[in-house]
Amino acid sequence: MSQPNDQRLFVVILGTNEIASAIGIQLVRAGYCVVLSHDPDPPVIRRKMAFHDALYTDTAQLEEFVAERVDDGVQVYQALGRPPHVMVTWLGLLDLLPVRHIDLLVDARLQKRRITPDLRRLARLTIGLGPGFSTNFNCDVAVETRPGKIGLITDTRWTDAADGVASSLGEVGAERFVYSRLSGRWHTPIEIGTRVYRDLVLGHLSGVPVLAPRDGMLRGIARDGTDVPAGVKLVEVDPRGRDAQWTGTDDRGRAIANATIVAVRLHAARRITQRDPA
């Protein structure tokens, strides 16, 4: 028999990208009902590695998990009475706060340019991922996401600021991406997982053609019809040949998800210790 809605553990994750989705999977495995809240900036490009497309197709599968779209707070509340699962929504945090108290709030948007909000007191536990977080200013727990440093921040310093250096994939860094040179409407007929070649036209941004940056497998591309700001990633090409990956969770996503789970468990252990000191 499923638990009542007021007893089911309720998580809100800000973001529908591949990192948010990997965390959602781990938290469902840990017994939580998870809602991923969409943020349009930056656009999600690794869509086959995320639950993002459920916003447009009602459901999306990642590994063995199927996420469903929910459109209002009533649907979210009703879904909390079911076994742990993933939901995806256009609703923002202000729309989700009235649904019920939030047990865990995770900001997984990995914002590099915007000021991160103060999440504290909006949930029983708040976790900030990536640039712009400190346990002394805007979250209960900060998690570093920089490659080679993924893990909890155990003091009150800030997580590393974005330095504009892309992580490597097959020893290729920023050269595998195409960034939007201007803001506008994006159109593309190309699907993720397609083999592409350097200078192939992949789409048009406000009528301006966008070319593949190199040979490889199309790992990520913004969804057709998306309005995008200037200076964000539109396209990613995986240069690794047979080792290319464009579906499922990857090593970085799983590492950040594991760090998030560690944070949740450490917080729970501290609460038990404070309540029942030896």
The pLDDT score that the predictor gives to residue 5 is 66
* E strand map for the chain: 10-14, 33-37, 59-62, 65-70, 86-89, 104-107, 125-129, 141-144, 151-153, 177-179, 184-187, 195-196, 201-205, 208-211, 216-221, 227-228, 233-238
CATH number of 174-239: 2.40.50.100
The pLDDT score that the predictor gives to residue 215 is 96
Q: So where are the chain's domains?
A: 10-162+250-275, 174-239
The pLDDT score that the predictor gives to residue 98 is 96
Give the pTM.
Answer: 0.92
Q: Name the fold adopted by 10-162+250-275.
A: Rossmann fold (3.40.50)
Side-chain half-sphere exposure of 219, counting CA atoms within 13 A: 24
| Contact present, 179 and 222 (Cβ < 8 Å) | no
The pLDDT score that the predictor gives to residue 247 is 96
Per-residue pLDDT tens digits of the chain, which is 278 residues long: 455 666 789 999 999 999 999 999 999 999 999 999 999 888 999 999 999 999 999 999 999 999 999 999 999 999 999 999 999 999 999 999 999 999 999 999 988 777 788 999 999 999 999 999 999 899 999 999 988 888 887 777 888 887 777 788 888 888 999 999 999 999 999 999 999 999 999 999 999 999 999 999 999 999 999 999 999 999 999 999 999 999 999 999 999 999 999 989 888 777 666 666 55
